[in-house]
């Protein structure tokens, strides 16, 4: 009996010799193997624990400064218990999309809680945060519309525009004057301006009051992806819009569950009509299996903790201040960060790798950020703080960076 080959098909002389092999580019992609051979491969390192201040990575204990678990909720016993109870009650998955059989009562409770927390009319939850931007932008925009993106906008916003088939223009990072010139140059077109609340590599904030003003002056709508702001900024943790006092001026707010909330998923909040429209027209919502119940229940539990325990946010900001002050005193360039995302600007790629290797040997986990995530010659070591870090762990990071800087 013939058996099916499990190896990729290769072109034979009988094939069309004029047609290049699509998969040849894969075999020519040797950079990851070269980095592994040199002991410099920094990606996909297997962990044997959750993202806690002391984590186990590649079977070694490390001080974790590479996770976005800002409030320490990813392993909080109450969050874990909520997921376990939902796992028993609902099972591991829904086997369908929200539109068909995949809507559970826990999804509706989560969306209601998100809308109430953000003080908006409605919310819609997505299976992962990436899909929230992809779904919202592609549903709200289409050919003939214009989207103006900050130069450093998240890739999910860029990809949402691609799915929408919409015309895109980029404005210089946080340059409101440049944005206004682009708006003036395109009158009479439905326009969306899309920015991040907190920029995930540099840790700086979008100037939301100025963006709101220029958008209103020119009749554009404003979308803010506050993935790294939720739970961190604002008097009650509602994010960067609360921090600036412009919550009701944001037309569409995107968030994720995978940072401060410690789980997986994403959401959009907006006026009820906008939520209803996106719920029924967003392809990533319609054609993706829904968020598993354990994740929805865990997210609900984490959201309650954010509301009930503001002291977590206070600890996070104390830790942030300690690390930023320590790094600046040690002479490191951390740019204009005003958040728990603290980048150490190294510049040269070889030096960045050397410092990362030293830190790794010392049991300190940070993330080397290289092109294309940053421009060539502007490599960084990205660190992120948790409320659960101790002062001693933060001081250890500063000392290890000083040692690495001296050896690189």
Per-residue pLDDT, 374: 87
Domain boundary among 308, 329, 345: 308
User: pLDDT tens across 260-307, in order?
Assistant: 999 999 999 999 999 999 999 999 999 999 999 999 999 999 999 999
Question: Do 70 and 84 have their domain in common?
Answer: no
Q: Which of 32-41, 162-171, 175-184 has the weakest average pLDDT?
A: 32-41
Question: Do 237 and 335 have their domain in common?
Answer: no
Tally of CB atoms within 10 A around 244: 21
User: pLDDT tens across 95-124, in order?
Assistant: 999 999 999 999 999 999 999 999 999 999
- CA-to-CA dists, residue 293 to 99, 125, 296, 344, angstroms: 16, 12, 5, 38
Is residue 362 in a domain? Answer: yes
Is residue 210 in a domain? Answer: yes
Residues classed as catalytic: 200, 228, 259
User: Where are any strands of DSSP class E within 164-318?
Assistant: 167-171, 191-196, 221-225, 252-256, 266-270
Proportion of the chain above pLDDT 70, given as a percent:
96
Six token digits for residue 15: 């094939």
User: pLDDT tens across 205-243, in order?
Assistant: 999 999 999 999 999 999 999 999 999 999 999 999 999
Domain boundary among 259, 275, 308: 308
Which band of pLDDT confidence, cut at 50, 70 and 90, is reported for residue 1? very low
Per-residue pLDDT, 11: 53
Is residue 190 in a domain? Answer: yes
User: pLDDT tens across 41-79, in order?
Assistant: 999 999 999 999 999 999 999 999 999 999 999 999 999
User: pLDDT tens across 396-406, in order?
Assistant: 999 999 999 99
Which residue segment(s) compose the domain that 148 sits in?
77-308
Residue whose entry in the numeric block shows the structure tokens 């944001």: 250
Which band of pLDDT confidence, cut at 50, 70 and 90, is reported for residue 4? low
Domain boundary among 257, 274, 308: 308
């Amino acid at each position: 009996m013939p058996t099916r080959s499990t190896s990729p098909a290769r072109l034979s002389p009988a094939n069309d010799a004029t047609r290049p092999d699509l998969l040849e580019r894969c075999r020519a992609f040797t950079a990851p193997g070269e980095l592994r051979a040199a002991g410099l491969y920094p990606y996909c390192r297997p962990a044997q624990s959750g993202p806690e201040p002391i984590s186990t990575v590649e079977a070694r204990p490390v001080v974790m400064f590479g996770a976005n678990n800002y409030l320490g909720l990813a392993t909080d016993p109450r969050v874990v218990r909520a997921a376990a109870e939902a796992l028993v009650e609902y099972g591991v998955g829904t086997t369908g999309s929200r539109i068909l059989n995949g809507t559970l009562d826990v999804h509706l409770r989560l969306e209601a809680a998100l809308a109430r927390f953000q003080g908006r009319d409605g919310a819609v939850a997505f299976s992962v945060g990436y899909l929230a931007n992809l779904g919202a932008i592609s549903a709200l925009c289409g050919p003939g519309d214009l989207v103006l993106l900050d130069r450093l906008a998240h890739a999910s916003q860029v990809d949402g525009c691609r799915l929408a088939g919409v015309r895109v223009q980029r404005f210089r990072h946080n340059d409101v004057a440049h944005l206004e010139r682009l708006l003036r140059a395109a009158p009479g077109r439905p326009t969306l301006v899309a920015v991040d609340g907190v920029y995930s590599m540099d840790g700086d904030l979008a100037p939301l009051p100025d963006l709101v003003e220029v958008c209103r002056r020119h009749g554009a709508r404003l979308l803010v992806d506050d993935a790294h702001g939720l739970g961190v900024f604002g008097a009650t943790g509602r994010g960067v819009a609360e921090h600036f006092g412009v919550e009701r001026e944001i037309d569409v707010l995107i968030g994720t569950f995978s940072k401060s909330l410690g789980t997986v998923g994403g959401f959009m909040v907006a006026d009820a009509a906008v939520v209803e429209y996106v719920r029924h027209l967003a392809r990533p919502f319609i054609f993706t299996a829904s968020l598993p119940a354990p994740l929805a229940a865990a997210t609900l539990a984490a959201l309650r903790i954010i509301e009930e325990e503001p002291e977590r946010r206070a600890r996070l900001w104390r830790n942030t201040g300690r690390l930023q002050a320590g790094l600046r005193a040690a002479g490191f360039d951390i740019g204009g960060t005003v958040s728990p995302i603290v980048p150490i600007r190294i510049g040269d790629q070889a030096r960045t790798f050397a410092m990362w290797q030293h830190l790794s040997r010392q049991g300190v986990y940070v993330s080397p950020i290289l092109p294309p995530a940053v421009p060539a010659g502007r490599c960084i070591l990205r660190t992120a703080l948790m409320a659960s870090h101790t002062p001693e762990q933060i001081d250890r990071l500063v000392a290890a960076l000083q040692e690495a800087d001296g050896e690189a």
